[in-house]
Amino acid sequence: MLTTVGITEHVHYVGVNDRETYLFENLWPLDQGVSYNSYLINDEQTAVFDTVKNTKMNDFIEKISSILKDRPLDYLVINHMEPDHSGSIKALQDRYPQLKLVGNAKTFEILENFYGPMANYHIVKDGDTLSLGSHELIFYMTPMVHWPETMMTYEKKTGILFSMDAFGGFGSLDGGIFDDEVNLEFYMDEIRRYYSNIVGKYGAMVQKALTKLKNAGIPINIIAPTHGPVWRTAPGCIIDYYDRWSKAETEEGVVIVYGSMYGNTQKMADLIARRLADKGIKNIRIYDASKTHVSYLISDIWRFKGVIFGSCAYNTGLFPSMESLVSKLENYQLKDRYLGIFGTASWSGGGVSNLNKFAEKIKWQQVGESVEAKSSPKEQDFEKCIAMADEMADLLIQERQPGVNPFCSIIY
């Protein structure tokens, strides 16, 4: 028996878990899996909101059939066309031949590029409505959050916002599907990793979407994303996080990421971290860029204000794993961080000098002077690392607001 979950009397969760896929988009590790969320409204007319990856279509369609019985499925609302949410559209229309596909003009352009022409398009524009009986849908265009066709659908009776990928995250739903049923500490880390790596580049468009929803004056009682938990207890909290992340707001803390072949650059990283702790900084993360996937690095860089990068020279350039990290950060256009730079060089330079070039491009405020040790760090190099840590700590402490948590706390 496949599990469906009632969100309200007539709104049902019909999503699925994927614990088999190793890399999301063939890029991002899924150590704890991922969910593909879909929802069904069973009213005078019936509607499903987004589908699931094609590898899960049979379970997905069986869940819908278990609720509808012999009733038809009238509408499929396509909020997002990415294949992990559109992969079962054709199978669903084969099962329900009169199914109308609801989307915007860009939706169907992308749909036909992926799957070829289909039947029964119902094209909607910003602010259009669709009645299902006692439930009425309102469509809000939210382009580039994070694809050009993305939109959100609001249901007036229940106050549910079907938000597609927005407000979602990695991690399968292991029993609980609601924010008050799951370990939110884990999911918030995975939601931030999802946001920072997939949506974060489009922060300005996230801000436009949030402003549109706010100006619409709609009470959002439940947020139903296409990945991760359904927010029925604290929807305002995840909205607050998205608002702050998309404005590049941060928490106090420092992320130190280094690339080191023989441990000399690592020695400098450890000293800097110890000095930061001595100065009262508690949130300190140290990562070997060769051991930790870049998605986790970017997630913490999105979270914390202080960033310190270290690299040895490698073939007259940056250490490869550090080169990959800074290239992604340049592409994501993250703003407003404090940056420290250190590293080592032996028969050639290239590590620190290329980090300095990154600093010029990214335009973060540099902290202290860049420190480059010859082969292995000496006393004078360590002294410069200490000075960098002191300046970083002083800047962070100056920004403190005693007793104020810049991000909402979720306690159940």
What pLDDT, on a 0 to 100 scale, did the predictor assign at position 2?
75
Is the pLDDT at 376 greater than 90, yes or no? Answer: yes
* Range 343-369 average pLDDT: 96
What pLDDT, on a 0 to 100 scale, did the predictor assign at position 3?
81
What pLDDT, on a 0 to 100 scale, did the predictor assign at position 237?
96
What pLDDT, on a 0 to 100 scale, did the predictor assign at position 409?
63
Is the pLDDT at 73 greater than 50, yes or no? Answer: yes
Is the pLDDT at 411 greater than 50, yes or no? Answer: no
- Is residue 1 very low, low, confident or very high in pLDDT (cuts 50, 70, 90)? low
Is the pLDDT at 40 greater than 70, yes or no? Answer: yes
pLDDT, averaged across the chain: 96
Q: Which of 337, 294, 84, 319 is nearest to 196 (CA)?
A: 294
* Range 256-262 average pLDDT: 96
Q: What is the pLDDT of residues 100-147, one digit of tens each?
A: 999 999 999 999 999 999 999 999 999 999 999 999 999 999 999 999
Is the pLDDT at 285 greater than 70, yes or no? Answer: yes
Is the pLDDT at 232 greater than 70, yes or no? Answer: yes
